[in-house]
Amino acid sequence: MSVAKINLDELNNEALLVEEHESMISIYWGRLKRHRLAFISLIVLALIILGVAIGPLIMGQMTYYNVQKDAYVNYARDTQDLQSKNVSPSSDHFLGTDELGRDVLFRLLIAGRLSLTISLSVVLIQVSIGIFLGAVSGFYGGWVDSLIQRIAEFFIILPALPLLLTLSSILRNVRIPGIPPEWSQSIFIIVILSFLGWPGSCRLSRGVVLSLRNQQFTEAAKALGMSDLGIITRHMIPNALPPIIVLATLGLGGVILTESALSFLGFGINPPVATWGNMLQNAQTDMLTAPWKALIPGFFILISVLAFNYLGDGLRDALDPRLKL
pLDDT tens-digit map of 103-132: 778 888 888 888 888 889 999 999 899 889
Give pairs for 223-228: CB < 8 Å, separation 24+.
Answer: 228/139, 228/140
pLDDT-derived band at 46, boundaries 50, 70, 90:
very high
Alpha carbons 243 and 188: distance in angstroms, whole number: 28
- 8 Å CB contact between 316 and 246: yes
- 8 Å CB contact between 34 and 42: no
DSSP-derived letter for residue 83 is G
Percent of the chain at pLDDT above 90? 4
End-to-end Cα, the chain, rounded Å: 39
Predicted TM-score (pTM) of this structure = 0.78
- 8 Å CB contact between 251 and 200: yes
